[in-house]
Amino acid sequence: MSYLEDFEVWKDAIEGVLPGKVKPPNQPVDDFVAKTETLAVDAAEDREALKSAGMDENLIDELTPLSGTLRYCQAKWMSEYRARAEAQTQWKEQAPQAYALRDELLHHFSFAYRNHDDIIKKVRRIREGASHADMIQDLIELAVLGEKYPEPLTSVNLDPDLLPQARTVSHTMSELLAAANGANGEGSANKLLRDKAFTLLFEKDSTIREYGRYVFWKDEDKRSKYYK
């Protein structure tokens, strides 16, 4: 079966892991899965001995497909994580120019509308706030305001391309900020699903290893295969 097919089989069980039981990976997922897949082979050879000690032999058969499921979930989360990390990088590169554009427009607007009481109040309100979200909103509001009252801006020879540029930059930076937020995975459905898949596989892996160490307590070679 493919990793996606494994995931479809195990999806409901993974989603059913209770939040309080979720165990984030304490080691690289690829390394853990590789060790679990090796355990599946070793435990299959010792199936009868493990079964005779009271272990549910279905645990052995579940290791490989659940390992594939975890690989699938990990791939989805890493794809999202890399996209967010890239968005963070782009934000850091582009944000200074966006802030500079906002500040330049505020400078021109404050002078051009200085004798227009109703408009200058709007400019002052736009100037309030210092967050990234404020900057993005400022750009679109400045573009709308400038398009609505163009004459004073024309009188100070404001570059007419700055207003559509402000719209474009506001849209671009809004998308980047949305993508960049939460790059550490907080609130990510894909990360939670990965963590739940790890939890489920970790529990089954640990149970088999526990039985293996118990059964082969006098056989050092055999017992060593059941250590993590």
Dig out the tokens for 55 from the structure.
């272990």
- 211 close to 53: Cβ distance less than 8 angstroms: yes
Tally the domains of the chain. Answer: 2
In a domain, 106, yes or no: yes
Residues 80 and 128 in one domain: no
Q: Would you state the pLDDT for residue 190?
A: 92
Residues 127 and 200 in one domain: no
In a domain, 91, yes or no: no
Q: Would you state the pLDDT for residue 184?
A: 54
- pTM over 0.85? The answer is no
In a domain, 196, yes or no: yes
Residues 102 and 176 in one domain: yes
Dig out the tokens for 175 from the structure.
């998308």
Q: Which of 203, 201, 225 is nearest to 44 (CA)?
A: 225
Average pLDDT score over residue span 181-200: 83
- 66 close to 1: Cβ distance less than 8 angstroms: no
Quick: pLDDT tens for 36-55.
Answer: 999 999 999 999 999 999 99
Residues 109 and 171 in one domain: yes
Q: Which helix (H) or strand (E) holds 201?
A: helix 189-215
Dig out the tokens for 19 from the structure.
């939040």
In a domain, 90, yes or no: no
Residues 152 and 129 in one domain: yes
Range of the domain at 125: 98-180
Q: Which of 40, 41, 18 is nearest to 204 (CA)?
A: 40
Residues 80 and 193 in one domain: yes
Exposure string of 74-102, with b = 16+ CB inside 10 Å and e = fewer, is bebbeebbeebeebbebbeeebeebbebb
- 76 close to 190: Cβ distance less than 8 angstroms: yes
In a domain, 165, yes or no: yes
Quick: pLDDT tens for 144-161.
Answer: 999 999 999 999 999 999
